[in-house]
Amino acid sequence: MASLRAARLASLAVAGVWSLPLGRPPPAPCSAWAAAMEPAPRWLAGLRFDNRALRLLPVETPPPGPEGAPSAPRLVPGACFSRARPAPLQQPRVVALSGSALALLGLEAAGREAEAEAEAALFFSGNALLPGAEPAAHCYCGHQFGQFAGQLGDGAAMYLGEVCTAAGERWELQLKGAGPTPFSRQADGRKVLRSSIREFLCSEAMFHLGVPTTRAGACVTSESTVVRDVFYDGNPKHEKCTVVLRMAPTFIRFGSFEIFKPADEHTGRAGPSVGRNDIRVQMLDYVIGSFYPEIQAAHPHCSDQVQRNVAFFREVIRRTARMVAEWQCVGFCHGVLNTDNMSIVGLTIDYGPFGFLDRYDPDHVCNASDDAGRYSYSRQPEVCKWNLRKLAEALEPELPRELAEAALEEEFDSEFQRHYLQKMRSKLGLVRVAQDGDGALVARLLETMHQTGADFTNTFSLLSSFPLEPQSPGLAEFLTTLTSQCASLEELRLAFRPQMDPRWVLRSFYHGVCFQKGRGIQKQRSWGLLETASPRGPTQASSWEWGQLGSNCDLGLLVRGKPRDTDVGGAQVGWG
């Protein structure tokens, strides 16, 4: 019977089971008619939905129109969500299930593997809806690379609903890659197999590393394809559409509160709900009451709302500081630390161009589009603090700016340092007594790792085998093994070499200075200077000098290996 049931579910998945036009939600997502159109689950039948977010926050009903109109790109003013419908996939099939994540929902696949995979392929691809699910897309804004981008929203993800478990927990389920929404802009709302596997694996790896994170319950691929330029080299290819089931208490983020932002002085963009302080109050009440109940209980009276909001912001600061401290301790680089990728409950969310350190390099950048290194490994703590400041701005007037700034200065740095040192002491086995010099010890170790090109993870792993017991390897053997994690001289030379020809970088920068000064420059003059700066020019700086200077070569005119000042259009500019 189980195999017959599985075959039936698989055939339903292939068929798509829809009688509605693609992308158009039914008039009432939870109506008896809509439920009758969906296949009845068995393995997933125990999931009980209670979609509090859609009850307590404003939801836009898509405007009527032709097929595809509900998912047409548009501004969504006056709402936190817009109802949506996953677009069906051809022949969905399970790539992987996370038993430990699904167990949080009360799901156990042992002995029911065929049934579990068939239902996961059908329901977690979006080809059918579970009873009680109400798919919707969340509206939010964000500062991207330091600039306000206006409305963003769930362009490739859909809220399914919130599952309440027997353990008393509430888990929001989300399908990432489920198709277009009003926030997809010009994209197709799809994710592909390679990026989905990365998100699935990293979500679960981070959890098992002890880092606060969203979870990934399932990864489902299909025979549907989209075109992607994998290497951005002008050679696009067809890739399989894939969906990840993501789980978290909530996916509300800092950018969720930026929908009220008036026109930005730099970009001119504004949020879609400017002036709607009533919705900001609703969101604060919802977030604090649902995810910070101890704070809500400590401030029950309406007259105490400002102090409640200050206490809430302080706890968000502390959770964020602890989260980024955990990242630094495992060598994790997020890659896109925009305000729309910062969880309001202190979780790691949205695994895009992330990476982990191999050779320890504090300036490592894992995102190829981050040309300025804004989100480099070493800058993650300060960027998180910057994002918290933007959250504080978004909470005004419910959170007075001066109180928020005071809380940020009092809490973030101290909480980050405390948690970071606690974790690093643990990694080094310094668990008995905390000493004042522990921070300097950690800093010296990391500097040594940087100078020698040591592997970040393997170095800490090998330190755990330091010979203390008689049966342990000898000290000489241990040191040999440890130094094997360091880079060779050739590897270090390659690692520290300039990343681009300094002649062209310098020319661009030099002309930029002239442009800002409103002056022209003679071509012969500029090329003469560039010839001086080039390692192939008159100075013939050694490869070691260029390697040591690294990216600073972009701003340095070398004369006998040293920077000098030069005259730019009559203005003295120091290069170096």
> Does residue 92 have a cis peptide bond before it, meaning omega lies within 30 degrees of 0?
no
Mean pLDDT, rounded, for 294-306: 92
The alpha helices in 266-345, defined as continuous H runs, are: 277-291, 293-298, 305-330
Task: Please give the share of the chain, as a percent, with pLDDT higher than 70.
Answer: 77
Mean pLDDT for all residues in the chain: 82
Mean pLDDT, rounded, for 436-452: 93
Taking 70 as the threshold, does the pLDDT of residue 184 lie above it? yes
Residue spans per domain, the chain: 40-139+156-250, 276-465
- What is the dihedral angle through the alpha carbons of 527, 531, 532, 538, rounded to the nearest 10 degrees? -140
Convert the pLDDT of each residue in 108-132 to its tens digit: 988 899 999 999 999 999 999 999 9
Per-residue pLDDT, 9: 39
Buried b vs exposed e over 323-344: b needs ≥16 C-beta within 10 Å? bbbbbbbbbbbbbbbbbbbbbb
User: What count of other Cβ atoms lies within 10 Å of the Cβ of residue 375?
Assistant: 22
Query: Which among 233, 264, 340, 358 is annotated as catalytic?
Result: 340
Asked whether 137 and 154 are in contact (CB, 8 A), the reply is yes
Band (pLDDT 50/70/90 cuts) for residue 303 is confident
Whole-angstrom distance, CA of residue 378 vs CA of residue 445: 15
Convert the pLDDT of each residue in 383-402 to its tens digit: 999 999 999 999 999 999 99
3-state SS, 391-451, equals HHHHHCCCCCHHHHHHHHHHHHHHHHHHHHHHHHHHHHCCCCCCCCCHHHHHHHHHHHHHH
Which has the higher per-residue pLDDT, 541 or 74? 74
Per-residue pLDDT, 70: 66
Mean pLDDT, rounded, for 235-250: 97
Q: What angle do CA 565, 566, 568 make, to 5 degrees?
A: 135
The alpha helices in 435-519, defined as continuous H runs, are: 438-452, 456-463, 475-483, 489-495, 502-517
The token duo for 541 is: 């700086």
DSSP 28-72: STTSHHHHHHSPPPSTTTT--B--HHHHHS-EEPPPP-STTGGGS
The token duo for 299 is: 């401030």
Whole-angstrom distance, CA of residue 532 vs CA of residue 526: 10
Cβ-based neighbours of 572, under 8 Å, separated by 6 or more: 565
Reduced to 3 DSSP states, what percent helix, strand and coil does the chain have, rounded to the nearest 5?
45, 15, 40
Taking 60 as the threshold, does the pLDDT of residue 230 lie above it? yes
Asked whether 212 and 322 are in contact (CB, 8 A), the reply is yes
pTM for this model (two decimals): 0.79
The token duo for 561 is: 């290996």
Band (pLDDT 50/70/90 cuts) for residue 64 is confident
Asked whether 208 and 99 are in contact (CB, 8 A), the reply is no
Mean pLDDT, rounded, for 40-51: 96
Whole-angstrom distance, CA of residue 555 vs CA of residue 576: 5
Sign of CA dihedral 323, 326, 332, 333: positive
Mean pLDDT, rounded, for 529-546: 34
Asked whether 379 and 286 are in contact (CB, 8 A), the reply is no
Which has the higher per-residue pLDDT, 217 or 433? 217
Per-residue pLDDT, 499: 54
Band (pLDDT 50/70/90 cuts) for residue 14 is very low
- DSSP letter at 144? E
β-bridge mates for residue 131, sequence order: none
- Burial group, residue 422, by CB count within 10 angstroms (0-12, 13-18, 19+): middle
3-state SS, 344-380, equals CCCCECCCCCCEECCECCCCCCCCCCCCCCCCCHHHH
Task: Please give the share of the chain, as a percent, with pLDDT higher than 90.
Answer: 66
Active site residue 501: no
The token duo for 436 is: 């004042």
Name the nearest CA neighbour of 53 among 128, 184, 157, 160.
Answer: 160
Which has the higher per-residue pLDDT, 543 or 162? 162
Lowest mean pLDDT of 64-78, 127-141, 435-449, 477-491, name the range: 477-491
Band (pLDDT 50/70/90 cuts) for residue 68 is low
Band (pLDDT 50/70/90 cuts) for residue 26 is very low
| Mode of pairing for the β-strands spanning 59-60 and 81-83 | parallel
Beta-strand ranges (E) seen in 208-277 are: 215-228, 237-248
Name the nearest CA neighbour of 295 among 278, 321, 317.
Answer: 317
Asked whether 535 and 561 are in contact (CB, 8 A), the reply is no
Angstrom CA distances, 51 to 36, 104, 131, 161, 342, stand at: 20, 17, 12, 5, 22
Buried b vs exposed e over 95-104: b needs ≥16 C-beta within 10 Å? bbbbeebbeb
Whole-angstrom distance, CA of residue 176 vs CA of residue 189: 9
Per-residue pLDDT, 473: 59
Per-residue pLDDT, 480: 80
Taking 70 as the threshold, does the pLDDT of residue 535 lie above it? no
Whole-angstrom distance, CA of residue 408 vs CA of residue 389: 8
Per-residue pLDDT, 462: 86
Q: What angle do CA 498, 501, 502 make, to 5 degrees?
A: 80
Asked whether 431 and 464 are in contact (CB, 8 A), the reply is no
Per-residue pLDDT, 11: 40
Which has the higher per-residue pLDDT, 565 or 455? 455
Per-residue pLDDT, 37: 66
Mean pLDDT, rounded, for 87-113: 96
Name the nearest CA neighbour of 126 among 165, 101, 158, 150.
Answer: 158
Per-residue pLDDT, 408: 98
Per-residue pLDDT, 503: 39
Per-residue pLDDT, 262: 97
Band (pLDDT 50/70/90 cuts) for residue 67 is low
Per-residue pLDDT, 108: 94
Convert the pLDDT of each residue in 274-283 to its tens digit: 999 999 999 9
Convert the pLDDT of each residue in 463-518 to its tens digit: 877 766 666 657 777 778 778 778 777 776 776 665 554 433 333 333 334 334 43
Mean pLDDT, rounded, for 337-356: 97
Mean pLDDT, rounded, for 51-57: 98
Cβ-based neighbours of 522, under 8 Å, separated by 6 or more: none
